[in-house]
Structure 1
């Protein structure tokens, strides 16, 4: 289904601004983060495990829209790098639950604080109308992301 003519400029704007915002944050953190930056998918996995401690490999793969085998391979790399800890489920030994290591938790928090600081400083330079518009758009952007994830 194609967007209606009036919605097309807004859809194009969203498609253009999100990568721009991501690149701006990514470039800034490269300057200030004292640790090697993992690939984006690993950062997303770390954030997800932080939010949902004990998440299973299958749940992580589904949330990141990955094949379970690819997620498992990534988790093996991240475990070897000391970022994740795997624990077998006592009821079903085939199931692995994921937890951040203490070092990974510190790094994720540090990166989150940097990202938040960048946005807060930039946000403070915007006018009140822009800040209100961004705040008002957040729930709709979250719903939009959810709708994009689900194939129609």
Structure 2
């Protein structure tokens, strides 16, 4: 197995582990917060991180086709987690914001996920290293999406 094949296997294992951990986190949230689909979670996460984003920006960043994005956004609005506001600079444009209920939901998730991971990652330096690495990976993936 050459260097490229070893790296390919490592990267596959990294992706596989991220998915496995994601399943555990998804299962832990069902008792702690408002129920939502993975598509709704992707949209909500983006709006939480980018309040005031436009629907177009959020759809592009989450890589959802417009019909799936629109359906997820409608469901989040129906659940009271997202609100639309007219853009003060251009009334034809809409901005998306998380609601107070979304903030409460996020605090419930923070409690549940912190409890779940506390035993698995008790070392602060290890947690910081993992966060730094995963943020860099996400940034690179988002930059790749915006270039396409």
Query: TM-score interval w.r.t. the shorter chain?
Result: 0.7 to 0.9
Please show how residues 1-150 of structure 1 align to structure 2 within 5 Å. 4-30=4-30, 32-33=31-32, 35-124=33-122, 135-149=128-142, 150=144
Distance 1:117 1:8 in 2: 33
Query: Quick check: 2:48–2:97 contact (8 Å CA) kept in 1?
Result: yes
Q: Number of paired residues? A: 143
- The gaps in structure 1 that reach 5 residues or longer are none
Considering Cα pairs closer than 8 Å and 6+ residues apart, tell me whether 1 or 2 has the greater RCO: 2
The TM-score normalised by the length of structure 2 is 0.78
Query: Quick check: 2:34–2:105 contact (8 Å CA) kept in 1?
Result: no
Query: Quick check: 1:87–1:98 contact (8 Å CA) kept in 2?
Result: yes
TM superposition shift of 1:134: 5.7
TM superposition shift of 1:94: 2.4
Change (3 A) 1:86 1:27: same
Give 1 or 2 for the bigger CA radius of gyration.
Answer: 1
The TM-score normalised by the length of structure 1 is 0.76
State the Cα deviation string for residues 83-104 of structure 1 (Å, max 9, x = none).
Answer: 2111111332221111122212
Cα RMSD, aligned residues only: 2.6
